[in-house]
Chain A
Amino acid sequence: MNAPLLETRSLCKNFGALAAATDINFRLESGARHALIGPNGAGKTTFINLLTGVFLPSNGQVLLRGRDITTMQQAARVKLGIARTFQINRLFRGLTVLENVYIAVAERLGVAPSMIKPAGMRREVVAESMRLLQTLKLADDAEHRISELPYGRQRLVELAIALGLQPEVLLLDEPAAGVPSAESHIILDAVAALPKHIGVLIIDHDMDLVFRFAERITVLVGGAVFAEGTPKEIGSDQRVRDVYLGQAHHG
């Protein structure tokens, strides 16, 4: 049997006495549409930080296609095809939208260390960045600085930067958080239109989004896997409803 695209084995992370991740066994297949849900403080973002190498785990392993990447540096993991977006925008605020994407694309193509030929003369990087902006309907904003954009469009730039890395694993940390509901469909459409072959893990609190998007759902509570299954199984799991969905549906 083939190794899964991304896998964790008994992954643990302790911050002092706080166990932010406990014995997480998780598999993401290529082409998967997987959602990670759980109440606030369940350790969802910590889990993404462990996958991308922001934190090193206290115990356990992270494997990409069966290869142990547990202690690998962040940048090296990106080169292997793991990209993420951030829950709170982390953009190059003083730069234009095009420049934001350009930096990611230049890094992926290995152009970034070159010191002589002007950035603007790298037509292949500019063209690819523009193509990406067009698919996300951001082309008209290409010249605008990030700080001039409404928050919803900034979220799209987050996505554009991650896509500029042409990932095989895409980790989306609440991509629609903070976006007015009138605009959130732009983000959702963009997520739905992602290339089929990449494995996508999405964290979100919006249950409509999660149940529409995901083919598989993992529920995280208190840093541990509480339940996992298809949306149907999770939706009808009484324990999950009690812990999480019940609360969410009250409002």
Chain B
Amino acid sequence: MSAQAHGMVDHPAVPSLVRQHRIRLWEPLPWILALAYYFAFPNHLGFGTDLLITILFALSLELALGYAGIVTLGHAAFFGAGAYTVGMLVHHGIWAEPLTSLALGAAVAALIGFGSGLILLRTTGLTLLMLTLCTMALLEEAANMGERYTGGFDGLPGLNIPPLFGLFEFSPLYPRVQYLYVLTMLFLCFVFIRTLVYSPFGQSLTGIRENTLRMHAVGAPVNWRLVTCYTISAAIAGIAGGLWAQANAYVNLTTLGLDRAATVLIILVLGGYGRLYGAFIGAVVYMALSHFLAKVYPTAWQLGLGLLLMLIALFARNGIIGLWDTLRRRFVSQRRPS
């Protein structure tokens, strides 16, 4: 009987589901490139650190939007929650050790994600979009008003982050330690997200995205799954925010604003969501282009980004990765006409 069952697993049709989680040949590439960047551009590590943090933030949104289909325009709420938690703890001299305060930032963001998710995730579509935006606006205004704790409009400048493990000093001028620290955190979070996405839990999130009604009808506790996913996503966004505060040694209202929330959404659309690596591609293309365009056309650089986004929205609904998939499929089917 078990031999028969095993035979069915080996049915020629099965492999894609059975193999999907296996590590593909090219998957170490982003990490090799990230390390190569460290050695090749020692004078641009500040930009590199920022890029890695953006990738991590985009990955957190990828989990909620790309996999579970939670449409949100307020994800910076969690980024900001992480950043402010880390910043306020250091500023008020309560807690400064980088790794544990990062964990606290993640916990606070997760708590906010859980609380707001319990209420918001009963809604969908435009309502959800507006409510997530409102949640973020409330937090932003709270950070603005609570001047005594958050520094208000000016934020908290000059955070004194102690050395990592008491050994590696964060230097604002030569952010070598920051870069490697952020890269390590990104890698750990990515491994976690990748595991999650290919697990049965990830499969059920995809099911919710594809057809919520059917998920109810197969007996899935849809709301609970969404809240769980949203909480995890918020925690990772909180880590990204905490890293941002530590790497830049300050916190301000830009960590919480619509600008940041919209940018990360654009990055995911640009790279292609629901595909894990879209966050990487999108962040690299977006950050590199805005960096480059801002140098060439200091006054009108956003025009170039806008045009690119229009092209993507019109001709490549699944982003750059989707475009690549389509081209490859066409190429393969031409070579092997079936």
Contacts and interface: CB of A to CB of B under 8 A. Distances in A.
B200 A142 contact: no
A143 to B, nearest CB: 5
A98 B211 contact: no
A102 B198 CA distance: 13
Contacts of A125: 200
B9 A103 contact: no
Interface of A: 52, 54, 74-79, 83-84, 86, 90-96, 98-99, 102-104, 106-108, 111-128, 130-131, 134, 139-143, 161, 164-165
Interface in B1-43: 5-6, 8-9, 11, 13-14, 16-21
Interface string B185-221: 0000000000110111111101100110111111111
A103 B204 CA distance: 6
Given A94-B210, A107-B219, A118-B198, A112 B16 contact: no
Question: Interface residues of A: mostly helix, strand, loop or mixed?
Answer: helix
Contacts of A91: 210-211, 214
A35 to B, nearest CB: 21
A165 B216 CA distance: 12
Contacts of A114: 199-201
A92 B20 contact: no
A42 B38 CA distance: 70
A84 B221 CA distance: 17
Given A103-B203, A130-B14, A92 B211 contact: yes
Contacts of A165: 218-219
Contact of B199 (A86, A118, A128): A118
B322 to A, nearest CB: 12
A104 B218 contact: yes
B14 to A, nearest CB: 6
Given A78-B217, A84-B217, A106 B195 contact: no
Given A79-B219, A90-B213, A127-B8, A119 B199 contact: yes
Nearest to A130: B8
Contacts of A103: 203-204, 207, 215, 218, 220
A107 B8 contact: no
Given A99-B17, A114-B200, A161-B218, A92 B195 contact: no
Interface of B: 5-6, 8-9, 11, 13-14, 16-21, 195-196, 198-204, 206-207, 210-211, 213-222, 225
Contact of A95 (B8, B206, B216): B206
Contact of A115 (B13, B196, B207): B196
A15 B114 CA distance: 34
Contacts of B21: 118-121
7 contacts: A75-B221, A90-B211, A103-B220, A112-B200, A118-B199, A126-B14, A143-B13
Contacts of A107: 204, 218-220
A90 B203 CA distance: 17
Contacts of B219: 74-79, 107-108, 165
A155 to B, nearest CB: 14
B195 A116 contact: yes
B216 A120 contact: no
Contacts of A54: 216
Contacts of A95: 206-207, 210
A84 B216 CA distance: 11
Contacts of A98: 13-14, 17
Contacts of B210: 91-95
Contacts of A106: 200, 203-204
Contact of B5 (A93, A116, A127): A127
Nearest to B19: A120
Contacts of B225: 113
A93 to B, nearest CB: 6
B268 to A, nearest CB: 17
Given A115-B199, A127-B5, A127-B6, A90 B18 contact: no
B206 A111 contact: no
A76 to B, nearest CB: 8
A12 B218 CA distance: 25
Given A125-B200, A126-B17, A143-B16, A161 B214 contact: yes
A90 B199 contact: no
Nearest to B194: A118
Contacts of A121: 18, 21
Contact of A78 (B13, B18, B206, B218): B218
A111 to B, nearest CB: 5
A112 B217 contact: no
A204 to B, nearest CB: 19
B14 A112 contact: no
Contacts of A83: 217
Contacts of B6: 123, 127
